[in-house]
C-alpha cells in the first residue's frame, strides 16, 4: 500500500503541509555520483521472496561468513531483517545503533542489511569505507515521501524556520536539514530549540503530531507516512489488549512503523497502563524482566526473532498480521552472498551532499548519547 495523497488524509493529525501529491524524485545535479551502479529505488515494496530451506540457510550462511572474512567485511543487520540474516550478521540493531557501529568498525567493507537510507547514513559517517547493500530494491516508503527540492521549497516559504527531520530520509534531504531525530529523541531535540523558532518537521506526520502533543508546541508537519505503520491502528491494539488481559503492549520507538502507535497513545486511544514505548534493547530487557506471559508487539515483525531468543517460552503476538516491510525483506542470504562475492552494490553519496548531511546526523547522535 502506498501513502495516500495528503488531500485524502482528512483525519490527519498534522497541522499543516504543502504536500498534496506523491513527490517526484529529485533529478541528480551535475557532478553528483549517486550510486556506483545506478539504480532506482522502487516506490512499492517488492513481493516477499521465498524462504530458503534449513539446508540452504546452513550452506549459504557458511559461504557468507567465509566471504566476509576474505573481504574484511562487517555485516550489519537491522532488527527487521529475516532471522537468517540477523543470525549471520556481526551486529544487529536499529538504524541509529547500526550507523554508530558502522562508524566504529575497522573493517574495510560494510555490508548493510537494511534499507537504503540506513546504508547511506553509514556511508556518510564512514566515507572512506566501501558500503554495500545486497538488494537495490531496499527502499523506504517514508524516506520516499519527501524530496530535497520539496524541503528547499518549504524552507523558502518559511525562511526563519529550523528543519527537523526523522532519520528516515535520503542523504539529499538530510543535507537540507538542521537536526535529524529518532523517535526516541525527537521530543528532547524539539524542546532544546528556542520556543520562538518556528519548526518544519518531517517526514512522518504521526511522529510530528506526537511531538507536538508532548511538547505542547505547534510545528509545521509534513504529511508523510510509512506503508507499514499506516496499517497499525489503535483499534487493533486496544482489541489485542482486551483479548489478552495479561499481556504487555510494546511499541518500538526507533522505526517509523511505530510512530502512529505513539501518537494514538498520546491521544489516549490506547490503555496506557500496560503500554510501553521501548527501544529494541529496551524491549529485549523488558521481556526478560517482566512477569507478563504474553507480549503484544506493535512494530515490524522482524523484531520477533531477537525477542524469542531473549525470552524463550513467552508468547509474542503481533498487534497486526500486516506489519511486514517488503523493502526490508528484499535482503536474502543469497543476495548477501552475491553482494560480497561480486562486490556489489555500492552505496555512494556525493561528497558535497555527505558533508552537509553529516551535520544533522552527528547532532542526532550527540543528543542520543
What are the residues binding ligand SF4 (CB under 6 A)? 115, 140-142, 168, 226-228, 255-257, 300, 325, 327-328
CB of 117 to ligand SF4, least distance (A): 8
CA angle 83–87–92, rounded 5-degree value: 90
The CA-based angle 136-137-138, given to 5 degrees, is 95
Estimate the crossing angle of helix 351-368 against helix 116-125, to 10 degrees. 90
| Chain centroid offset of residue 45 CA | 14
**Smallest separation (angstroms) from ligand SF4 to the CB of 265:** 18
Which is nearer to ligand SF4, 84 or 300 (by Cβ)? 300
Residue nearer to ligand SF4 on the CB measure, 219 or 328: 328
CB of 2 to ligand SF4, least distance (A): 11
Q: What is the three-state SS of 251-319?
A: ECCCCHHHHHHHHHHHHCCCCHHHEEECCHHHHHHHHHHCCCCEEEEECCHHHHHHHHHHCCCCEEEEC
Q: What is d(CA 238, CA 229) in angstroms, rounded to the nearest whole number? A: 16
Q: Residue 228 or residue 339: which is nearer to ligand SF4 going by CB?
A: 228
Return the number of the residue (13 or 145) whose C-beta is nearest ligand SF4. Answer: 145
Closest-CA residue to 281 (of 154, 89, 92, 50): 92
> Minimal distance in Å, beta carbon 222 to ligand SF4?
14
| Closest to ligand SF4 by CB, 60 or 323 | 323
> What whole-number distance in Å separates Cα of residue 92 and Cα of residue 107?
16
What is the longest distance spanned by two Cα atoms in the chain? 61
CA pair distance 27, 247, nearest whole angstrom: 49
Q: Compute the least distance from the CB of residue 168 to ligand SF4, in Å.
A: 5
| Residue 46 Cβ vs ligand SF4, minimum distance, rounded to whole Å | 12
Compare residues 255 and 364 and give the one whose CB is closer to ligand SF4.
255
Count other Cβ atoms within 10 Å, centred on residue 8.
11
Nearer to ligand SF4, 162 or 236 (CB): 236
What minimum distance in Å lies between the beta carbon of 225 and ligand SF4? 9
Q: How far apart are the C-alpha atoms of 273 and 112, rounded to whole Å?
A: 37
Amino acid at each position: 500500500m502506498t501513502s495516500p495523497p495528503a488531500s485524502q488524509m482528512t483525519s490527519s493529525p498534522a497541522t499543516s503541509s504543502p504536500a498534496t501529491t506523491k513527490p517526484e524524485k529529485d533529478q541528480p545535479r551535475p557532478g553528483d555520483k549517486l550510486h556506483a551502479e545506478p539504480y532506482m529505488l522502487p516506490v512499492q515494496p517488492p513481493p516477499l521472496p521465498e524462504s530458503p530451506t534449513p539446508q540452504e540457510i546452513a550452506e549459504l550462511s557458511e559461504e557468507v561468513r567465509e566471504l566476509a572474512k576474505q573481504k574484511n567485511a562487517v555485516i550489519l543487520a537491522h532488527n527487521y531483517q529475516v532471522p537468517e540474516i540477523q543470525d549471520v550478521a556481526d551486529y544487529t540493531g536499529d538504524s541509529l545503533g547500526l550507523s554508530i557501529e558502522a562508524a566504529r568498525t575497522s573493517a574495510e567493507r560494510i555490508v548493510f542489511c537494511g534499507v537504503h537510507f540506513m546504508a547511506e547514513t553509514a556511508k556518510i559517517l564512514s566515507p572512506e569505507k566501501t558500503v554495500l547493500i545486497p538488494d537495490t530494491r531496499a527502499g523506504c516508503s517514508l524516506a520516499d515521501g519527501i524530496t530535497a527540492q520539496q524541503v528547499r521549497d518549504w524552507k523558502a516559504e518559511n525562511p526563519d524556520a529550523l528543519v527537523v527531520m526523522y532519520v528516515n530520509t535520503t542523504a539529499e534531504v538530510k543535507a537540507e536539514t538542521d537536526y535529524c531525530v529518532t523517535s526516541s529523541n525527537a521530543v528532547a531535540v524539539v524542546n532544546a530549540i528556542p520556543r520562538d523558532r518556528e519548526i518544519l518537521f518531517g517526514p512522518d506526520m504521526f511522529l510530528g503530531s506526537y511531538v507536538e502533543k508532548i511538547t505542547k508546541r505547534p510545528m509545521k508537519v509534513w504529511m508523510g507516512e510509512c506503508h507499514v505503520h499506516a496499517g497499525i491502528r489503535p483499534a487493533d491494539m486496544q482489541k489485542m489488549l482486551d483479548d489478552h488481559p495479561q499481556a504487555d503492549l510494546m511499541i518500538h520507538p526507533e522505526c517509523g512503523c511505530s510512530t502512529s502507535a505513539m501518537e494514538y497513545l498520546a491521544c489516549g486511544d490506547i490503555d496506557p497502563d500496560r503500554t510501553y514505548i521501548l527501544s529494541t534493547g529496551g524491549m529485549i530487557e523488558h521481556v526478560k524482566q517482566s512477569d507478563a506471559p504474553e507480549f503484544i508487539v506493535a512494530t515490524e515483525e522482524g523484531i520477533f526473532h531477537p525477542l524469542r531468543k531473549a525470552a524463550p517460552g513467552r508468547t509474542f503476538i503481533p498487534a497486526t498480521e500486516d506489519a511486514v516491510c517488503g523493502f526490508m525483506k528484499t535482503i536474502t542470504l543469497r543476495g548477501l552472498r552475491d553482494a560480497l562475492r561480486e562486490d556489489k552494490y555500492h552505496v555512494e553519496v556525493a561528497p558535497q551532499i555527505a558533508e552537509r548531511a553529516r551535520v544533522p546526523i552527528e547532532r542526532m547522535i550527540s543528543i542520543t548519547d
